[in-house]
Structure 1
Amino acid sequence: ESHAELEVRLEGLTKEKGDMTSKLEQVTAALDDSKDQVADLLAETEGLALKCEQYREHEQNLSGHIIALSASVESLTEDRECIEAYLSQQDHQARNAAKRRQKKLRELLDIEVGCPVESVEEKKGEGG
């Protein structure tokens, strides 16, 4: 080959080397960008994993509170039922005591007056 052909060939190879170097720089820059994106995604993943763990702990705390509240409500319901039963029993006893007192009072009045006294209920039944 002649000197001119070699120079043309060298010029072509130099241009090709420049193009390849430019392409290599572009690929290297893209690779660096990809590495940065991977690092950002890893950091974001770690942040999300931490938040997820915090949410799990919060959920466990709330579950504990719900269990405690459920037990408290159950206890209050049992207490209310006991109080209702006690009040019902007290009301029943008070009514019975009132009936006994009323009966005794009628007996005393019968003895004192000497004739049977109509009870308030009997008068109510007659329209009085």
Structure 2
Amino acid sequence: MTPSTLFRLALGVGAGTLLLLVLSAGALGIVGEGGRVDRVYVTVPAVALVGAALARLRPGAMAVVMGAAALTQAVVTATVLLADLHRTAGGNLPDLLLVNAMFVALLGVSGWLFHRAAAARSLRPAHP
């Protein structure tokens, strides 16, 4: 694949994942039936958007941004679990773990694709 195809694919996976996360937290609820507890998941798209602005959408930097977003997703999940918020919101532990693992994995795939795009771009021969 060309670097631009890898970049577009990475951007699509990342943006789609973040959109799905916002819709899941807002409309369906990730922790139980939704509500106040799900508002903590807003930090993940915030990290990704601020990071993308700072990275100026350069593939190498975007790989780091997507890694940071995946780490933020994992930390938010750990916080919800350690604070026992999933029980007070009526959440199901296996469902919570699986949904969040899916988001972490998709953000990780996006980061990996950005990394591949950056590597492919650096291997291209320079035009004379």
Please, what TM-score do these two structures have when normalized by structure 2? 0.27
Question: Which fold has the larger relative contact order, with Cα–Cα distance below 8 Å and residues 6 or more apart in sequence?
Answer: 2
Q: Flag the structure with higher helix content.
A: 1
Please, what TM-score do these two structures have when normalized by structure 1? 0.27
